[in-house]
Amino acid sequence: MRIPINPDGETMKHLTAPPPLSLDDKKRLDDLYAMIEREADYFIGYPCNAVFDYSPLFPFLNHPINNVGDPYVPSNFHLNTHDFEREVLEVFQQLTHIPEQDAWGYISCGGTEGNMYGIFLGRELFPEGLVYYSEDTHYSVNKILRCLHVRNIMIKSNPDGTMDLEDLRETIRIHRDVPPIIFANVGTTMKGAVDDLAGIRQILDELAVHQSYIHADAALSGMILPFVDDPQPWDFLAGLDSISISGHKMIGAPIPCGIVLAKKRYVDRIARSIEYVGTMDTTILGSRNAITPLFLWYAFRTLGLEGCRRRVEYCFDVADYAIERLSEVGRRAWRHRNSVTVVFDRPAPEVVSRWQLAVQRDIAHVITMPHVTRAQIDRLAGDIARSDAAVESNRVMK
Active site residues: 339
Whole-Å CA distances, 125 to 29, 129, 130, 186, 275: 48, 8, 12, 23, 25
Number of other CB atoms surrounding residue 28 within 10 Å: 12
Is residue 52 within 8 Å of 264, Cβ to Cβ?
A: no
Phi-psi region of 284 (alpha: psi -120 to 50; beta: other; left: phi over 0): alpha
Long-range contacts of 57-61 (CB under 8 A, 24+ apart): 57/291, 57/294, 57/295, 57/298, 60/290, 60/291, 60/294, 61/291
CA dihedral 92→94→97→100, nearest 10 degrees, is 100
Long-range contacts, 344-348 (Cβ 8 Å, 24+): 347/383, 347/384, 347/387, 347/388, 348/384, 348/387, 348/388, 348/391
Where does the chain have alpha helices with state H?
A: 23-40, 82-96, 111-125, 139-148, 165-174, 197-206, 264-267, 292-328, 349-354, 374-397
